[in-house]
Amino acid sequence: MTFEITKELIENVIGYVEQKNDTALSELFFDVHHADIAEVIEELPFDEALYIIKLLDSVTTSEVLIDLDEDTREKILEQLTAKEIAEEIGELDTDDAADIISELSEERQGEVMLEIVDEEHAKEIEELLGYDENSAGGLMAKELVKVNENWTVLKCVKEMRAQAEEVTRVHSIYVIDDAGKLKGRLSLKDLLVASTRTPIAEFYIPKVDFVRVNDPAEDVANVMRKYDLEAIPVIDEADILVGRITIDDIVDVIKDEADKDYQMAAGISKDVEANDTIWELTKARLPWLILALFGGFISVSILGGFETAMKTYPELFFFTPLIAAMAGNVGVQSSAIIVQGLANDSLKGSLWKRLLKEVVQSLINGFVLASLLMSAGMLFLGFKIAIGLTVAISLISVIMIASIIGTFVPIILDKRGVDPALATGPFITTSNDIFGILIYFMIAKTILGF
């Protein structure tokens, strides 16, 4: 790890670009990993970034483009001609190529596709563009090594050599039949040991893990993680081998999925990071805050409705933030456990059992917290028994209802095809705030009779 991005390095690059010192720039970036070049590009002003992209050869810049942030890539692609983009695309594996093209406008997509020289490559990219980006089809590459079960070892080795040239990492050799259906895989060791005339059919391994082209990306990640796979073949509805997914893409899926869930839980929509512009960050944060404000506004009206109780029981109003906070916290806990269970596909047993479990848990938590609150409130703040009891009973009820809501909302969202992680964000805190306050005052009204 010798390459480090320093302030001096960035200043040097900017200086060289100003002097149009292409030799110095080429030397500077010689043999530097594309992921590092991408990081330098992100730090440069736009014109300098574009200059570097245009200067370096397309073998390098095509990989750099893949490593860039979506925003930076979009801006750079806007400044390139369809022909220039096609050249970059020509250097990339089909999956990366399709990812880049899919980010262009439909009109430009057509222009770029027409400029791709290798027709086979263009056809494969076209096919990949047809799949949902969050499915196995959207993740897979067309590059893989496959052999026909009817071939002999000799023919197989010859064909494999030609195919392997286009595949960066071979991982596995897949065996197909004449129709192209996935039949199994081949062990390189077995292949080397077998005599040259033996047909593949005699010794291939019929047991092979695979995913279907329409399987969601998350499922693919779960399978590959569970079985520690470095690559998995993808088949279509007719069992035809259509592509291959490698672990590096899955690492990105896992990371992105986790980042998204975390951001949703924190009330940030869209994929933003600390270095984004103030405008981008505000766009990601403000909608959730407006939702929370709206929720807060409802709680203001609820409290306003109980104004008459204020004269007799002013203490009741001191507890509203506490009740609301507990409802929010409990709800988020319950939701988070369900969201993770759904993501890891580890939710087992019936809904009723799960409900019972939540109720028992919230009763335990509720009783512990309510007794703490009651004793502290009466000891240190000198509250009357009636008030203490009201708050305690309300706290237990609010905790129970918040945990039931927290459990069911993500399950319902998931069943309706909405990302359940939505439930752990300000959405659940806000609605639980409202429910909490409402329940609290309704119980208080019943007990104290105002």
229-258: contacts with its own copies (CB under 8 A) = 230, 247-248, 250-252, 254-255, 258
Q: Which residues contact 299 (CB under 8 A, 6 or more apart)?
A: 320, 324, 433, 434, 437
Question: Least separation, in Å, of the C-beta of 170 and its own copies?
Answer: 10
| CA 207/CA 182 separation, integer angstroms | 10
Range in contact with its own copies (rule: CB under 8 A) among 16-24, 49-57, 330-338, 441-449 = 330-338
Report the residue number, 138 or 388, with the smaller CB distance to its own copies. Answer: 388
Range in contact with its own copies (rule: CB under 8 A) among 107-115, 127-135, 234-242, 332-340 = 332-340
- For position 315 contacting its own copies by CB under 8 A, the verdict is yes
Count of other CB atoms within 10 angstroms of residue 311:
8
- For position 4 contacting its own copies by CB under 8 A, the verdict is no
Q: Which residues contact 380 (CB under 8 A, 6 or more apart)?
A: none
Query: Which H or E element spans position 211?
Result: strand 211-212
CA dist list (Å): 195 to 155, 190, 318 = 12, 10, 86
Q: Is 345 left (phi over 0), alpha (psi -120 to 50) or beta?
A: left
Question: Least separation, in Å, of the C-beta of 296 and its own copies?
Answer: 3
Question: Least separation, in Å, of the C-beta of 111 and its own copies?
Answer: 30
- For position 263 contacting its own copies by CB under 8 A, the verdict is yes
Pick one of 94, 109, 135, 335: the residue that binds its own copies (CB under 8 A).
Answer: 335
Q: Which residues pair with 152 in a beta bridge?
A: 199
**Subset of 94-123 contacting its own copies (CB under 8 A):** none
Three-state DSSP state, 84: helix
Pick one of 193, 289, 351, 386: the residue that binds its own copies (CB under 8 A).
Answer: 289
Report the residue number, 318 or 450, with the smaller CB distance to its own copies. Answer: 318
- For position 16 contacting its own copies by CB under 8 A, the verdict is no
Spatial contact of 428 and 409, defined as CB atoms under 8 Å apart? yes
Residue 218, token pair as written in the block: 């998350």
**Subset of 402-421 contacting its own copies (CB under 8 A):** none
- For position 265 contacting its own copies by CB under 8 A, the verdict is yes
* CA end-to-end distance (rounded Å), the chain: 71
Spatial contact of 220 and 139, defined as CB atoms under 8 Å apart? yes
Question: Least separation, in Å, of the C-beta of 112 and its own copies?
Answer: 25
Reduce the secondary structure of 125-176 to three states and give it as a string.
Answer: HHHHHCCCCCEHHHHCECCCEEEECCCEHHHHHHHHHHHHCCCCCCCCEEEE
**Dihedral of the CA atoms 109, 110, 112, 114 (nearest 10)?**
160
- For position 368 contacting its own copies by CB under 8 A, the verdict is yes
Range in contact with its own copies (rule: CB under 8 A) among 99-107, 114-122, 149-157, 358-366 = 358-366
Report the residue number, 199 or 317, with the smaller CB distance to its own copies. Answer: 317
**Subset of 292-311 contacting its own copies (CB under 8 A):** 292-293, 295-297, 299-301, 303-304, 307, 310
- For position 216 contacting its own copies by CB under 8 A, the verdict is no
Question: Least separation, in Å, of the C-beta of 178 and its own copies?
Answer: 24
- For position 10 contacting its own copies by CB under 8 A, the verdict is no
Count how many residues are written for the chain: 450
Q: Phi/psi at 235 (nearest 5 deg)?
A: -120, 155
Count of other CB atoms within 10 angstroms of residue 121:
18
Report the residue number, 203 or 210, with the smaller CB distance to its own copies. Answer: 210
Query: Which H or E element spans position 186?
Result: strand 182-186
Three-state DSSP state, 255: helix
- For position 206 contacting its own copies by CB under 8 A, the verdict is no
- For position 84 contacting its own copies by CB under 8 A, the verdict is no
Report the residue number, 244 or 354, with the smaller CB distance to its own copies. Answer: 354
